[in-house]
Chains A and B, each alone.
Chain A
Amino acid sequence: MSVETRTEPSATAARPADLIRLEQVTKRFGANTVLDHLDFAVRPGRHVTLIGPSGSGKTTILRLLMTLTKPDEGTITVDGEPLFPAPEKQVREVRKKIGMVFQHFNLFPNMSVLRNLTEAPVQVLGLSKDEAEERARELLELVGLADKCGARPAQLSGGQQQRVAIARALAMRPRVLLLDEVTSALDPELVAGVLDLLRDIARSTDITMLCVTHEMGFARDISDQVLMFDGGRVIESGSPEKIFSDPEQDRTREFLGAVL
Protein backbone atom coordinates (compact mmCIF):
# COMPACT_ATOMS: atom_id res chain seq x y z
CA MET A 1 0.00 0.00 0.00
CA SER A 2 1.12 3.54 -0.50
CA VAL A 3 2.33 4.96 2.74
CA GLU A 4 1.83 8.66 3.02
CA THR A 5 3.05 10.62 5.97
CA ARG A 6 0.42 12.25 8.04
CA THR A 7 0.61 16.01 8.00
CA GLU A 8 -0.51 17.61 11.18
CA PRO A 9 -2.44 20.79 10.46
CA SER A 10 -0.65 23.69 12.06
CA ALA A 11 -2.56 25.63 14.64
CA THR A 12 -2.97 28.63 12.38
CA ALA A 13 -4.12 26.73 9.30
CA ALA A 14 -7.78 26.73 8.46
CA ARG A 15 -9.56 23.92 10.21
CA PRO A 16 -9.98 21.09 7.71
CA ALA A 17 -13.52 20.03 7.06
CA ASP A 18 -14.81 17.20 9.17
CA LEU A 19 -14.42 13.82 7.53
CA ILE A 20 -17.16 12.26 9.60
CA ARG A 21 -20.11 14.10 10.98
CA LEU A 22 -23.07 12.80 12.94
CA GLU A 23 -25.79 15.31 13.74
CA GLN A 24 -28.56 14.75 16.24
CA VAL A 25 -28.32 11.01 15.75
CA THR A 26 -30.70 8.91 17.78
CA LYS A 27 -30.73 5.13 17.76
CA ARG A 28 -33.19 3.06 19.72
CA PHE A 29 -33.45 -0.67 20.20
CA GLY A 30 -37.01 -1.16 21.38
CA ALA A 31 -37.54 0.97 24.45
CA ASN A 32 -33.79 1.32 24.94
CA THR A 33 -32.26 4.54 23.57
CA VAL A 34 -28.66 3.70 22.73
CA LEU A 35 -27.73 7.03 21.19
CA ASP A 36 -29.55 10.14 22.23
CA HIS A 37 -29.38 13.10 19.82
CA LEU A 38 -25.67 12.65 19.45
CA ASP A 39 -23.48 15.22 17.69
CA PHE A 40 -20.11 13.88 16.78
CA ALA A 41 -17.43 14.88 14.29
CA VAL A 42 -14.00 13.61 13.34
CA ARG A 43 -11.44 15.52 11.31
CA PRO A 44 -9.38 13.70 8.68
CA GLY A 45 -6.33 11.85 9.94
CA ARG A 46 -7.41 11.86 13.56
CA HIS A 47 -7.31 8.81 15.74
CA VAL A 48 -10.30 8.84 18.00
CA THR A 49 -10.96 6.32 20.73
CA LEU A 50 -14.41 5.75 22.15
CA ILE A 51 -14.51 4.47 25.71
CA GLY A 52 -17.30 3.86 28.15
CA PRO A 53 -19.28 1.10 29.80
CA SER A 54 -20.84 -1.57 27.63
CA GLY A 55 -24.21 -0.53 26.25
CA SER A 56 -23.16 3.10 26.16
CA GLY A 57 -23.46 3.26 22.35
CA LYS A 58 -19.79 3.18 21.28
CA THR A 59 -20.09 0.18 19.00
CA THR A 60 -23.39 1.48 17.64
CA ILE A 61 -21.58 4.52 16.25
CA LEU A 62 -19.19 2.29 14.32
CA ARG A 63 -22.08 0.17 13.07
CA LEU A 64 -23.97 3.25 11.93
CA LEU A 65 -20.95 4.48 10.01
CA MET A 66 -20.50 1.09 8.38
CA THR A 67 -24.26 1.11 7.52
CA LEU A 68 -24.77 -2.16 9.38
CA THR A 69 -27.64 -0.46 11.13
CA LYS A 70 -29.65 2.69 10.52
CA PRO A 71 -30.33 5.58 12.85
CA ASP A 72 -33.88 6.41 13.88
CA GLU A 73 -33.23 10.14 13.58
CA GLY A 74 -30.45 12.45 12.52
CA THR A 75 -28.00 12.71 9.67
CA ILE A 76 -24.62 11.19 8.95
CA THR A 77 -22.17 12.59 6.43
CA VAL A 78 -18.77 11.32 5.37
CA ASP A 79 -16.41 13.60 3.51
CA GLY A 80 -19.25 16.03 2.91
CA GLU A 81 -21.48 13.40 1.31
CA PRO A 82 -24.58 12.08 3.02
CA LEU A 83 -24.49 8.48 4.21
CA PHE A 84 -27.83 8.73 5.96
CA PRO A 85 -30.37 9.52 4.78
CA ALA A 86 -29.19 8.60 1.28
CA PRO A 87 -30.25 6.35 -1.62
CA GLU A 88 -28.63 2.92 -1.84
CA LYS A 89 -26.43 3.93 -4.80
CA GLN A 90 -25.02 6.84 -2.88
CA VAL A 91 -24.47 4.66 0.18
CA ARG A 92 -22.39 2.25 -1.89
CA GLU A 93 -20.16 5.10 -3.05
CA VAL A 94 -19.69 6.64 0.37
CA ARG A 95 -19.12 3.26 1.98
CA LYS A 96 -16.02 2.76 -0.17
CA LYS A 97 -14.30 5.31 2.05
CA ILE A 98 -14.88 3.26 5.18
CA GLY A 99 -13.38 -0.01 6.33
CA MET A 100 -14.09 -2.00 9.43
CA VAL A 101 -12.32 -4.58 11.55
CA PHE A 102 -14.58 -6.70 13.73
CA GLN A 103 -14.24 -8.24 17.15
CA HIS A 104 -14.65 -11.73 15.70
CA PHE A 105 -12.58 -11.08 12.53
CA ASN A 106 -15.34 -12.28 10.19
CA LEU A 107 -12.93 -13.55 7.58
CA PHE A 108 -14.54 -15.58 4.81
CA PRO A 109 -13.77 -19.18 5.84
CA ASN A 110 -14.45 -20.55 2.37
CA MET A 111 -11.67 -18.49 0.78
CA SER A 112 -7.91 -18.53 1.08
CA VAL A 113 -6.22 -15.70 2.95
CA LEU A 114 -5.15 -14.18 -0.35
CA ARG A 115 -8.66 -14.30 -1.77
CA ASN A 116 -10.08 -12.74 1.36
CA LEU A 117 -7.92 -9.75 0.43
CA THR A 118 -8.52 -9.71 -3.32
CA GLU A 119 -12.26 -10.43 -3.48
CA ALA A 120 -13.52 -6.93 -2.77
CA PRO A 121 -10.80 -4.98 -4.61
CA VAL A 122 -11.59 -7.02 -7.74
CA GLN A 123 -15.38 -6.99 -7.35
CA VAL A 124 -15.88 -3.48 -6.00
CA LEU A 125 -12.91 -1.39 -7.10
CA GLY A 126 -12.51 -3.15 -10.43
CA LEU A 127 -8.85 -4.04 -9.96
CA SER A 128 -7.46 -6.79 -12.17
CA LYS A 129 -6.68 -10.05 -10.44
CA ASP A 130 -2.94 -9.37 -10.74
CA GLU A 131 -3.18 -5.86 -9.33
CA ALA A 132 -5.31 -7.07 -6.45
CA GLU A 133 -2.95 -9.92 -5.67
CA GLU A 134 0.05 -7.64 -5.72
CA ARG A 135 -1.68 -5.28 -3.32
CA ALA A 136 -2.74 -8.20 -1.14
CA ARG A 137 0.79 -9.59 -0.96
CA GLU A 138 2.18 -6.20 0.06
CA LEU A 139 -0.40 -5.94 2.81
CA LEU A 140 0.24 -9.47 4.05
CA GLU A 141 3.90 -8.51 4.18
CA LEU A 142 2.96 -5.47 6.24
CA VAL A 143 0.98 -7.54 8.74
CA GLY A 144 3.73 -10.15 8.90
CA LEU A 145 1.82 -12.98 7.23
CA ALA A 146 3.34 -13.09 3.77
CA ASP A 147 3.77 -16.85 4.08
CA LYS A 148 0.06 -17.47 4.75
CA CYS A 149 -1.36 -16.51 1.33
CA GLY A 150 -2.64 -19.97 0.58
CA ALA A 151 -3.86 -20.82 4.08
CA ARG A 152 -7.50 -20.94 5.09
CA PRO A 153 -8.55 -18.65 7.95
CA ALA A 154 -9.30 -21.68 10.13
CA GLN A 155 -5.64 -22.68 9.96
CA LEU A 156 -4.54 -19.40 11.56
CA SER A 157 -4.46 -18.33 15.19
CA GLY A 158 -6.89 -15.65 16.34
CA GLY A 159 -4.17 -13.02 16.28
CA GLN A 160 -3.18 -13.97 12.75
CA GLN A 161 -6.81 -13.95 11.63
CA GLN A 162 -7.26 -10.48 13.03
CA ARG A 163 -4.14 -9.25 11.24
CA VAL A 164 -5.50 -10.70 8.00
CA ALA A 165 -8.78 -8.90 8.71
CA ILE A 166 -6.90 -5.62 9.15
CA ALA A 167 -5.09 -6.23 5.86
CA ARG A 168 -8.41 -7.04 4.19
CA ALA A 169 -9.89 -3.75 5.33
CA LEU A 170 -6.79 -1.83 4.19
CA ALA A 171 -6.88 -3.50 0.76
CA MET A 172 -9.89 -1.31 -0.03
CA ARG A 173 -7.79 1.80 0.74
CA PRO A 174 -10.42 3.32 3.00
CA ARG A 175 -10.03 6.80 4.41
CA VAL A 176 -11.56 5.73 7.69
CA LEU A 177 -10.81 2.56 9.59
CA LEU A 178 -13.34 1.47 12.19
CA LEU A 179 -11.94 -0.82 14.85
CA ASP A 180 -14.56 -2.57 16.95
CA GLU A 181 -12.99 -4.15 20.03
CA VAL A 182 -10.50 -5.85 17.76
CA THR A 183 -8.59 -7.57 20.55
CA SER A 184 -11.49 -8.60 22.79
CA ALA A 185 -11.79 -12.08 21.31
CA LEU A 186 -8.05 -12.80 21.34
CA ASP A 187 -6.05 -14.86 23.77
CA PRO A 188 -4.05 -12.48 25.97
CA GLU A 189 -0.69 -13.43 24.47
CA LEU A 190 -1.90 -12.55 20.97
CA VAL A 191 -3.16 -9.06 21.79
CA ALA A 192 0.21 -7.30 21.66
CA GLY A 193 0.93 -8.34 18.07
CA VAL A 194 -2.33 -6.90 16.81
CA LEU A 195 -1.99 -3.67 18.79
CA ASP A 196 1.60 -3.17 17.61
CA LEU A 197 0.42 -3.52 14.03
CA LEU A 198 -2.32 -0.93 14.56
CA ARG A 199 0.14 1.46 16.21
CA ASP A 200 2.34 1.04 13.15
CA ILE A 201 -0.52 1.80 10.80
CA ALA A 202 -1.59 4.78 12.90
CA ARG A 203 1.93 6.18 12.79
CA SER A 204 2.81 5.54 9.18
CA THR A 205 -0.43 6.35 7.31
CA ASP A 206 -2.86 9.22 7.20
CA ILE A 207 -5.84 6.95 7.72
CA THR A 208 -8.49 8.18 10.11
CA MET A 209 -9.21 5.76 12.90
CA LEU A 210 -12.23 5.29 15.08
CA CYS A 211 -11.56 2.81 17.75
CA VAL A 212 -13.73 1.15 20.36
CA THR A 213 -11.48 -0.59 22.84
CA HIS A 214 -11.01 -1.67 26.40
CA GLU A 215 -7.24 -1.55 26.00
CA MET A 216 -6.61 1.74 27.74
CA GLY A 217 -2.84 1.61 27.24
CA PHE A 218 -3.38 1.27 23.50
CA ALA A 219 -5.99 4.05 23.53
CA ARG A 220 -3.53 6.33 25.28
CA ASP A 221 -0.82 5.46 22.73
CA ILE A 222 -2.57 6.01 19.46
CA SER A 223 -5.37 8.46 20.13
CA ASP A 224 -5.42 12.16 19.46
CA GLN A 225 -8.75 12.31 21.15
CA VAL A 226 -10.66 10.18 23.60
CA LEU A 227 -14.43 10.31 23.97
CA MET A 228 -16.11 9.02 27.08
CA PHE A 229 -19.61 7.67 26.45
CA ASP A 230 -22.30 7.09 28.94
CA GLY A 231 -26.02 6.63 28.43
CA GLY A 232 -25.90 7.38 24.71
CA ARG A 233 -24.10 10.69 25.09
CA VAL A 234 -20.53 11.90 25.06
CA ILE A 235 -20.01 13.01 28.62
CA GLU A 236 -16.40 14.03 28.26
CA SER A 237 -13.84 14.39 25.50
CA GLY A 238 -10.24 15.46 25.32
CA SER A 239 -6.66 14.41 24.75
CA PRO A 240 -5.72 11.01 26.14
CA GLU A 241 -3.42 12.70 28.68
CA LYS A 242 -6.32 14.77 29.96
CA ILE A 243 -8.89 11.97 30.08
CA PHE A 244 -6.65 9.34 31.59
CA SER A 245 -4.80 11.54 34.07
CA ASP A 246 -7.22 14.24 35.01
CA PRO A 247 -10.80 13.54 33.97
CA GLU A 248 -13.37 16.16 34.81
CA GLN A 249 -16.37 13.94 35.25
CA ASP A 250 -16.84 11.68 38.25
CA ARG A 251 -18.43 9.12 35.93
CA THR A 252 -15.25 9.00 33.80
CA ARG A 253 -13.05 8.65 36.88
CA GLU A 254 -15.27 5.86 38.14
CA PHE A 255 -15.17 4.02 34.81
CA LEU A 256 -11.40 4.34 34.44
CA GLY A 257 -10.96 3.21 38.02
CA ALA A 258 -12.91 0.07 37.20
CA VAL A 259 -11.08 -0.84 33.96
CA LEU A 260 -7.50 0.25 34.65
Chain B
Amino acid sequence: MTWDWHAVSDFMPHFWDGLLVSLQALALGSLLSFTLGLVWTLLMRAPTRWVRWPVGVVTEFVRNTPLLVQLFFLFYVLPEWGLTFSALATGVFAIGLHYSTYTMQVYRAGIEAVPVGQWEAATALNLPRRRTWTAVILPQAIRRVIPALGNYVISMLKDTPMLMVITVLEMLGQARLFSQQRFQFTEPLTVIGVAFVLISYLASLLLRALERRLVR
Protein backbone atom coordinates (compact mmCIF):
# COMPACT_ATOMS: atom_id res chain seq x y z
CA MET B 1 0.00 0.00 0.00
CA THR B 2 1.40 3.36 -0.96
CA TRP B 3 0.24 6.82 -0.01
CA ASP B 4 -0.53 8.95 -3.01
CA TRP B 5 -0.63 12.71 -2.40
CA HIS B 6 -2.09 13.23 -5.85
CA ALA B 7 -5.11 11.20 -4.82
CA VAL B 8 -5.50 13.50 -1.83
CA SER B 9 -5.34 16.67 -3.87
CA ASP B 10 -7.69 15.19 -6.50
CA PHE B 11 -10.13 14.25 -3.76
CA MET B 12 -10.11 17.62 -2.00
CA PRO B 13 -12.72 19.40 -4.22
CA HIS B 14 -15.10 16.49 -3.62
CA PHE B 15 -14.23 16.58 0.04
CA TRP B 16 -15.26 20.22 0.39
CA ASP B 17 -18.57 19.48 -1.33
CA GLY B 18 -19.13 16.58 1.04
CA LEU B 19 -18.13 18.61 4.09
CA LEU B 20 -20.64 21.30 3.20
CA VAL B 21 -23.42 18.72 2.95
CA SER B 22 -22.38 17.03 6.20
CA LEU B 23 -22.36 20.32 8.09
CA GLN B 24 -25.68 21.29 6.55
CA ALA B 25 -27.24 18.03 7.65
CA LEU B 26 -25.71 18.44 11.10
CA ALA B 27 -26.84 22.03 11.60
CA LEU B 28 -30.38 21.51 10.36
CA GLY B 29 -30.68 18.13 12.07
CA SER B 30 -29.54 19.67 15.35
CA LEU B 31 -31.99 22.55 15.10
CA LEU B 32 -34.82 20.16 14.32
CA SER B 33 -33.91 17.83 17.18
CA PHE B 34 -33.68 20.73 19.64
CA THR B 35 -37.06 22.08 18.59
CA LEU B 36 -38.95 18.81 18.29
CA GLY B 37 -37.43 17.53 21.54
CA LEU B 38 -38.75 20.54 23.41
CA VAL B 39 -42.17 20.07 21.82
CA TRP B 40 -42.24 16.41 22.92
CA THR B 41 -41.20 17.33 26.45
CA LEU B 42 -43.92 19.94 26.79
CA LEU B 43 -46.54 17.63 25.28
CA MET B 44 -45.52 14.93 27.76
CA ARG B 45 -46.52 17.37 30.49
CA ALA B 46 -49.98 17.93 29.04
CA PRO B 47 -52.76 17.50 31.56
CA THR B 48 -54.53 14.83 29.53
CA ARG B 49 -53.15 11.40 28.84
CA TRP B 50 -54.79 11.48 25.41
CA VAL B 51 -51.84 13.70 24.48
CA ARG B 52 -49.16 12.14 26.68
CA TRP B 53 -49.91 8.57 25.66
CA PRO B 54 -49.54 8.86 21.86
CA VAL B 55 -46.50 11.12 22.17
CA GLY B 56 -44.94 8.64 24.59
CA VAL B 57 -45.55 5.68 22.30
CA VAL B 58 -44.29 7.39 19.15
CA THR B 59 -41.13 8.77 20.72
CA GLU B 60 -40.39 5.49 22.48
CA PHE B 61 -40.78 3.73 19.14
CA VAL B 62 -38.50 6.14 17.31
CA ARG B 63 -35.86 6.01 20.04
CA ASN B 64 -35.79 2.23 20.02
CA THR B 65 -35.54 1.62 16.30
CA PRO B 66 -32.26 2.13 14.43
CA LEU B 67 -31.69 5.38 12.60
CA LEU B 68 -30.62 3.38 9.56
CA VAL B 69 -33.99 1.65 9.38
CA GLN B 70 -35.77 4.98 9.77
CA LEU B 71 -33.72 6.45 6.92
CA PHE B 72 -34.67 3.62 4.59
CA PHE B 73 -38.28 3.82 5.65
CA LEU B 74 -38.57 7.56 5.10
CA PHE B 75 -36.67 7.45 1.82
CA TYR B 76 -38.38 4.49 0.19
CA VAL B 77 -41.79 4.27 1.84
CA LEU B 78 -42.89 7.90 2.05
CA PRO B 79 -42.77 8.39 -1.75
CA GLU B 80 -45.18 5.46 -2.07
CA TRP B 81 -47.62 7.56 -0.06
CA GLY B 82 -47.05 10.47 -2.42
CA LEU B 83 -44.64 12.33 -0.13
CA THR B 84 -41.43 13.09 -1.96
CA PHE B 85 -38.57 15.08 -0.53
CA SER B 86 -34.97 15.52 -1.57
CA ALA B 87 -32.55 12.99 -0.13
CA LEU B 88 -30.92 15.64 2.05
CA ALA B 89 -34.25 16.87 3.41
CA THR B 90 -35.27 13.30 4.21
CA GLY B 91 -31.94 12.75 5.94
CA VAL B 92 -32.22 15.92 7.99
CA PHE B 93 -35.73 15.00 9.01
CA ALA B 94 -34.69 11.47 10.01
CA ILE B 95 -31.72 12.61 12.08
CA GLY B 96 -33.69 15.45 13.66
CA LEU B 97 -36.61 13.20 14.52
CA HIS B 98 -34.41 10.41 15.84
CA TYR B 99 -32.35 12.68 18.06
CA SER B 100 -35.39 14.64 19.24
CA THR B 101 -36.37 11.52 21.16
CA TYR B 102 -33.08 11.85 23.05
CA THR B 103 -33.12 15.62 23.51
CA MET B 104 -36.63 15.37 24.96
CA GLN B 105 -35.17 13.39 27.85
CA VAL B 106 -32.46 15.99 28.30
CA TYR B 107 -35.03 18.79 28.41
CA ARG B 108 -37.17 16.84 30.86
CA ALA B 109 -34.23 16.43 33.22
CA GLY B 110 -33.42 20.12 32.85
CA ILE B 111 -36.97 21.18 33.65
CA GLU B 112 -37.15 18.87 36.64
CA ALA B 113 -33.87 20.30 37.91
CA VAL B 114 -35.36 23.80 38.22
CA PRO B 115 -36.04 24.15 41.95
CA VAL B 116 -39.67 23.92 42.99
CA GLY B 117 -39.22 27.30 44.68
CA GLN B 118 -39.12 28.90 41.24
CA TRP B 119 -42.59 27.57 40.44
CA GLU B 120 -43.81 28.71 43.83
CA ALA B 121 -42.40 32.20 43.39
CA ALA B 122 -44.10 32.41 39.98
CA THR B 123 -47.40 31.36 41.55
CA ALA B 124 -46.96 33.81 44.42
CA LEU B 125 -46.48 36.59 41.86
CA ASN B 126 -49.50 35.36 39.94
CA LEU B 127 -47.54 35.03 36.69
CA PRO B 128 -49.61 33.44 33.94
CA ARG B 129 -48.75 29.81 33.18
CA ARG B 130 -47.30 30.58 29.78
CA ARG B 131 -45.14 33.38 31.12
CA THR B 132 -43.89 31.16 33.94
CA TRP B 133 -42.64 28.74 31.29
CA THR B 134 -41.11 31.25 28.89
CA ALA B 135 -39.61 33.72 31.36
CA VAL B 136 -38.75 31.61 34.41
CA ILE B 137 -38.58 27.86 33.85
CA LEU B 138 -37.31 27.34 30.32
CA PRO B 139 -34.47 29.89 30.44
CA GLN B 140 -33.12 28.15 33.54
CA ALA B 141 -33.75 24.64 32.23
CA ILE B 142 -32.19 25.23 28.81
CA ARG B 143 -29.12 26.83 30.32
CA ARG B 144 -28.61 23.70 32.36
CA VAL B 145 -28.97 21.30 29.41
CA ILE B 146 -26.81 23.01 26.80
CA PRO B 147 -23.78 20.80 27.58
CA ALA B 148 -25.88 17.65 27.24
CA LEU B 149 -27.43 18.90 23.98
CA GLY B 150 -23.93 19.63 22.70
CA ASN B 151 -22.92 16.04 23.28
CA TYR B 152 -25.80 14.94 21.07
CA VAL B 153 -24.59 17.30 18.33
CA ILE B 154 -21.24 15.48 18.33
CA SER B 155 -23.11 12.20 18.30
CA MET B 156 -25.19 13.37 15.35
CA LEU B 157 -22.07 14.40 13.48
CA LYS B 158 -20.86 10.83 13.69
CA ASP B 159 -24.21 9.56 12.41
CA THR B 160 -24.27 11.78 9.32
CA PRO B 161 -22.41 9.16 7.21
CA MET B 162 -25.56 7.06 7.41
CA LEU B 163 -27.16 9.52 5.01
CA MET B 164 -24.97 7.92 2.34
CA VAL B 165 -27.38 5.00 2.16
CA ILE B 166 -30.12 7.29 0.90
CA THR B 167 -27.80 8.75 -1.76
CA VAL B 168 -26.85 11.94 0.07
CA LEU B 169 -23.32 12.85 -1.00
CA GLU B 170 -21.93 13.90 2.35
CA MET B 171 -18.31 13.25 3.27
CA LEU B 172 -18.45 9.46 3.26
CA GLY B 173 -20.56 9.43 0.10
CA GLN B 174 -17.96 11.55 -1.69
CA ALA B 175 -15.14 9.34 -0.44
CA ARG B 176 -16.88 6.21 -1.61
CA LEU B 177 -17.66 7.66 -5.03
CA PHE B 178 -14.05 8.74 -5.43
CA SER B 179 -12.73 5.36 -4.29
CA GLN B 180 -14.89 3.45 -6.72
CA GLN B 181 -13.76 5.55 -9.64
CA ARG B 182 -10.06 5.51 -8.78
CA PHE B 183 -9.65 2.31 -6.80
CA GLN B 184 -7.84 4.35 -4.19
CA PHE B 185 -9.46 3.85 -0.80
CA THR B 186 -6.83 4.86 1.74
CA GLU B 187 -6.50 8.53 0.89
CA PRO B 188 -10.13 9.69 0.77
CA LEU B 189 -11.13 7.62 3.80
CA THR B 190 -8.17 8.98 5.79
CA VAL B 191 -9.04 12.54 4.82
CA ILE B 192 -12.61 12.27 6.02
CA GLY B 193 -11.51 10.40 9.13
CA VAL B 194 -9.22 13.27 10.05
CA ALA B 195 -12.02 15.70 9.26
CA PHE B 196 -14.38 13.92 11.68
CA VAL B 197 -11.78 14.01 14.44
CA LEU B 198 -11.08 17.70 13.85
CA ILE B 199 -14.74 18.72 13.77
CA SER B 200 -15.56 16.68 16.89
CA TYR B 201 -12.59 18.14 18.70
CA LEU B 202 -13.43 21.71 17.73
CA ALA B 203 -17.04 21.16 18.71
CA SER B 204 -16.05 19.80 22.11
CA LEU B 205 -13.75 22.78 22.72
CA LEU B 206 -16.57 25.11 21.80
CA LEU B 207 -18.88 23.21 24.07
CA ARG B 208 -16.53 23.36 27.01
CA ALA B 209 -16.12 27.11 26.58
CA LEU B 210 -19.89 27.47 26.45
CA GLU B 211 -20.24 25.31 29.53
CA ARG B 212 -17.77 27.44 31.47
CA ARG B 213 -19.67 30.56 30.54
CA LEU B 214 -22.99 29.07 31.58
CA VAL B 215 -21.79 27.63 34.87
CA ARG B 216 -20.17 30.93 35.82
Contact = CB atoms under 8 A, between A and B. Distances in A.
Interface stretch (B21-29, B91-99, B103-111, B125-133): B125-133
A109 interface: yes
Given A119-B135, A123-B131, A106 B120 contact: yes
B136 A92 contact: no
A100 B139 contact: no
B125 to A, nearest CB: 4
A99 B121 CA distance: 10
B123 A168 contact: no
A124 B128 contact: yes
B208 interface: no
Contacts of A99: 124-125
B140 interface: yes
Contact of A120 (B115, B118, B126, B143): B126
Given A68-B120, A102-B117, A106-B118, A119 B140 contact: no
A81 B143 CA distance: 40
Contacts of A124: 125-128
Contacts of A66: 120, 123-124
A172 interface: yes
Given A106-B120, A106-B121, A172 B126 contact: yes
Nearest to A100: B124
Given A110-B136, A110-B139, A123-B131, A96 B126 contact: yes
Contacts of A95: 123, 126
A243 to B, nearest CB: 28
B92 to A, nearest CB: 31
A109 B140 contact: yes
Contacts of A108: 118, 121, 135-136
Contacts of B131: 123
B123 A120 contact: no
Interface in A149-188: 168-169, 172
Given A106-B117, A106-B120, A108-B118, A92 B125 contact: no
Contact of A123 (B120, B123, B128): B128
A33 to B, nearest CB: 23
Contacts of A104: 115, 117
Contacts of A67: 123
Contacts of A98: 124
B160 to A, nearest CB: 34
A100 B119 CA distance: 13
A123 B131 CA distance: 8
Contacts of B115: 104, 106
Interface in A192-239: none
Q: Identify the interface centre among B115, B120, B140: most chain A CB within 10 Å of its CB.
A: B120
A136 interface: no
Contacts of B127: 119-120, 123-124
7 nearest CB pairs, A to B: A120-B125, A106-B121, A106-B117, A100-B124, A110-B139, A124-B126, A95-B126
Interface of A: 66-68, 92, 95-96, 98-100, 102, 104, 106-111, 119-120, 123-124, 168-169, 172
Given A99-B125, A110-B143, A169-B124, 19 more contacts: A66-B123, A66-B124, A92-B126, A95-B123, A99-B124, A100-B120, A102-B117, A102-B120, A108-B121, A108-B136, A110-B139, A111-B135, A119-B127, A120-B125, A120-B127, A123-B127, A123-B128, A168-B125, A172-B126
Interface of B: 115, 117-118, 120-121, 123-128, 131, 135-136, 139-140, 143
